[in-house]
Amino acid sequence: MKHIILVVLVSLILAGCLPSIQREKGPDATGEFIKGQVVRGFPGLPLYPKSQVIETYGSIEGYGGSFVSKDKLSKVVNFYGPTLGQLGWETVLRKKSESYYVYEIKNDNFIGEVIINIASDNKQTAITVALEPR
């Protein structure tokens, strides 16, 4: 019983400590791409630690964003599965190739994808998010 309580407490603590893309501040979501920032109202998704925001957008039709990380592809892919679940997203991981993975995601409000692949410079990992309302 003590073990179960400990697991629940650790899970709750970790869920509160996850870096998240969700923004209540920032530029308005006008449907235009905003470079280097996350638009206001962006849905709560895990933000890969130390990743760089390339651009994001948002409108009544959905949200999206591009991010890059210097970490290896496998490390980024392995980060997203559990952390998406901890933030309430249902996920299905699809391996399209050795360098291209897609998490199909959904929650009560949104459905979309988190695409993780090798960036065009072959040195970084690209993370692309596309979401639309359900």
* CATH number of the domain residue 36 falls in: 3.30.310
Each residue's pLDDT tens digit, 18-45: 455 544 566 677 778 999 999 999 999 9
Question: Above pLDDT 90, what percent of the chain?
Answer: 75
For 128, the domain range is 20-133
pLDDT of 10 strictly over 60: no
- Decide if 107 is inside a domain: yes
Contact status, residue 109 vs residue 134, Cβ threshold 8 Å: yes
Report the domain count for the chain.
1
- Decide if 51 is inside a domain: yes
- Decide if 60 is inside a domain: yes
What letter would DSSP give residue 39? Answer: P
Output the average pLDDT for the chain.
85
pTM: 0.80
Per-residue confidence (pLDDT) for residue 24, from 0 to 100: 59
**Structure tokens, 91:** 């996920």
Contact status, residue 69 vs residue 48, Cβ threshold 8 Å: yes
